[in-house]
Amino acid sequence: MKEVSIGLIGFGTVGTGVVKILQENRDILDARVGVPVRLKRIADLDLQTDRGVNVERSILTTDAWGLVRDPEISVVVELIGGYEPAKSLILEAFRNGKHVVTANKALLAEHGPEIFGAAYKAGADIAFEAAVAGGIPILRSLREGLVANRFEKVLAILNGTCNFILTAMDTNPRVSFDEVLREAQALGYAEADPSLDIDGIDSAHKLVLVLGLTHGIRVPVKSLHVEGIRNIDPFDVRMAHEFSYKIKLLAVIKSHGDDVDARLHPTLLPENHPLARVDGVFNGIYLRGDMVGEQLFYGRGAGCEPTASAVIGDVIEMARGVARGEVGRVPPLGYPETWKAPGRVKQISEINTNYYLRIHAMDRPGVLSKVSGIMSEHDISIHSVVQKVRQSSGTVPVVFLTHRAKEADIQTACERISRLEIVEGAPVVIRIEDETLD
Ligand code: HSE
């Protein structure tokens, strides 16, 4: 093979990064592949905007369908995002014998079975390193470098926007969630409609892909417990501090034999946990493999060049395969397409962990005993309790940390506590990841 030709669909932020890397690092990329890797065509609806990179006008087109059918192109890079026309373009690329690189986590998380199945049927490769944790090569590490391991535990910060907001609230515990969100939007970290990020959907899409790689379990997002950070109150951030914790939006995967716990929610993490130091827009993945022990991955989860770095990593892997005529070396999710995982994802009601519970109660005799009485009736053992000073409303905030308890018991107890006349509103419940509490 004289050269490997690439077609790029989507000339936005990441697409521009891809073009930049292919141009600026052309010498090392060609040397590493052994044959030239060339960008043959770029498809985008907007051919006017100056992206700050030089490309020959002749390779620009608005016709993405022509690109995925171009017989000279071997690898299609899909960076338009969204479900359609991205899905149909990818399927058409497979039908035309192309391999596909994409950063489209939402598409793969929601339509994975159809897309991975089509790639398998067509004998094509699909790679998506940029879909999870931007520039951090976590997927390839799970699929190849760490293939010797059973994954006992994965805790991951997978959304830079949420981590930026939580870090800002932690640094300045007097600012509200809304103020920090506005700052994140002004700095260009959060979208005008930030709901995909702050409601946890973006992280949950990434969790679905990671779970496919760690355990071979493929589930739709809607089957997972997903909670975002919209309801995080500065008071809880301050209380977390008092207990030497930080609040992070975590994707949690834990093995229980063949079954797993897989969930996404705000979590109290000890201040000395390696992930507690992953601040700002950075992403981090902490994992424990049965053979390798603990590992921490840290880096930028978004942005033009870091994300494009991951895209190019996939492009080069494919170009090497194409140049040698050997594709399909490693299945995209690390298990053969025909393999069926023996385990299942536990319901959230089945999990067992430690909890932070905060209530607002009347400052009267017997209140704590009523609340703790309900907790004891549901087998919930209190690890520590802190009552703060009375507020202008006449209520006092009381925070409990619990020993390990069953989620179903916590939910029932909280439901009963919220019905007490002496308690204002529903308890705030935040799960804790701390192996030193039992
Ligand atoms: N919006 C994501 C984040 C990056 O804030 O981390 C793309 O998944």
Q: What is the CATH number of the domain that holds 214?
A: 3.30.360.10
pLDDT at residue 350 tops 80: yes
- Does residue 338 belong to any structural domain of this protein? no
Q: What is residue 188's predicted lDDT score, i.e. its pLDDT?
A: 80
Give residue ranges with CB within 6 A of ligand 1: 159-161, 197, 202, 301-302
Residue among 206, 246, 254, 346 flagged as catalytic: 206
- Does residue 129 belong to any structural domain of this protein? yes
Give the closest residue to 159 by CA, choosing from 101, 100, 226, 217.
226
Q: What is residue 157's predicted lDDT score, i.e. its pLDDT?
A: 98
Q: What does the alpha-carbon distance between residue 359 and residue 294 come to, in Å, rounded to a whole number?
A: 36
Same domain, 99 and 73: yes
Ligand 1 closest atom vs CA 283:
6
- Does residue 57 belong to any structural domain of this protein? yes
Where does 70-188 have alpha helices with state H? Answer: 86-95, 105-122, 138-140, 160-171, 177-186
Same domain, 188 and 296: yes
- pLDDT (tens digit, 9 = 90+) per residue, 146-197? 999 999 999 999 999 999 999 999 999 789 899 999 998 888 887 778 999 9
- Does residue 356 belong to any structural domain of this protein? yes
Same domain, 143 and 281: yes
**Weakest-pLDDT range from 2-11, 182-191, 215-224, 305-314:** 182-191
pLDDT at residue 291 tops 90: yes
Same domain, 150 and 235: yes
Q: What does the alpha-carbon distance between residue 29 and residue 16 come to, in Å, rounded to a whole number?
A: 17
- Does residue 312 belong to any structural domain of this protein? yes
Q: What does the alpha-carbon distance between residue 73 and residue 68 come to, in Å, rounded to a whole number?
A: 8
Residue-range definition of the domain harbouring residue 94: 4-134+304-324
Mutate to test the pocket of ligand 1, among 187, 197, 298 (most ligand atoms within 8 A of CB): 197
Strand partners, 285: 156, 297
- Does residue 331 belong to any structural domain of this protein? no
Ligand 1 closest atom vs CA 131:
8
When the pLDDT of each residue in the chain is averaged and rounded to a whole number, the result is 95
> For residues 10 and 185, which has the higher predicted lDDT (pLDDT)?
10
- pLDDT (tens digit, 9 = 90+) per residue, 227-264? 999 999 999 999 999 999 999 999 999 999 999 999 99
- In the chain, the number of structural domains is 3
Q: What is residue 390's predicted lDDT score, i.e. its pLDDT?
A: 72
Mutate to test the pocket of ligand 1, among 187, 202, 229 (most ligand atoms within 8 A of CB): 202
Same domain, 179 and 155: yes
Q: What does the alpha-carbon distance between residue 160 and residue 164 come to, in Å, rounded to a whole number?
A: 6
Q: What is residue 394's predicted lDDT score, i.e. its pLDDT?
A: 78
Same domain, 210 and 193: yes
Helix, strand, or coil (residue 391): coil
Task: Confirm whether 206 is a catalytic residue.
Answer: yes
Same domain, 83 and 154: no
Q: Residue 179 has which token pair?
A: 């103020």
Same domain, 112 and 169: no
Same domain, 296 and 314: no
Q: 268 falls in which pLDDT band (50, 70, 90)?
A: very high
Q: What is residue 99's predicted lDDT score, i.e. its pLDDT?
A: 98
Q: What is residue 383's predicted lDDT score, i.e. its pLDDT?
A: 96
- Does residue 390 belong to any structural domain of this protein? yes
| CATH classification at residue 73 | 3.40.50.720
| CATH classification at residue 356 | 3.30.70.260
Q: What does the alpha-carbon distance between residue 419 and residue 426 come to, in Å, rounded to a whole number?
A: 8
Q: How far is CA 111 from CA 105, 108, 154, 195, 220, in A?
A: 10, 5, 24, 21, 9
Ligand 1 closest atom vs CA 196:
1
Residue whose token pair is 């997903």: 226
Burial of 46 (0-12, 13-18, 19+ CB in 10 A): exposed
Same domain, 289 and 147: yes
- Does residue 335 belong to any structural domain of this protein? no
- pLDDT (tens digit, 9 = 90+) per residue, 358-411? 999 998 889 899 999 999 999 999 999 999 877 767 789 999 999 999 999 999
Q: What does the alpha-carbon distance between residue 45 and residue 62 come to, in Å, rounded to a whole number?
A: 5
Q: Residue 323 has which token pair?
A: 């140049």
Q: Percent of the chain scored above 70 by pLDDT?
A: 100
Q: What is residue 101's predicted lDDT score, i.e. its pLDDT?
A: 98
Same domain, 149 and 10: no
C-alpha dihedral, 159 to 116 to 20 to 325, nearest 10°: 150
Q: What does the alpha-carbon distance between residue 243 and residue 54 come to, in Å, rounded to a whole number?
A: 54
Same domain, 30 and 76: yes
* Whole-structure pTM value: 0.96
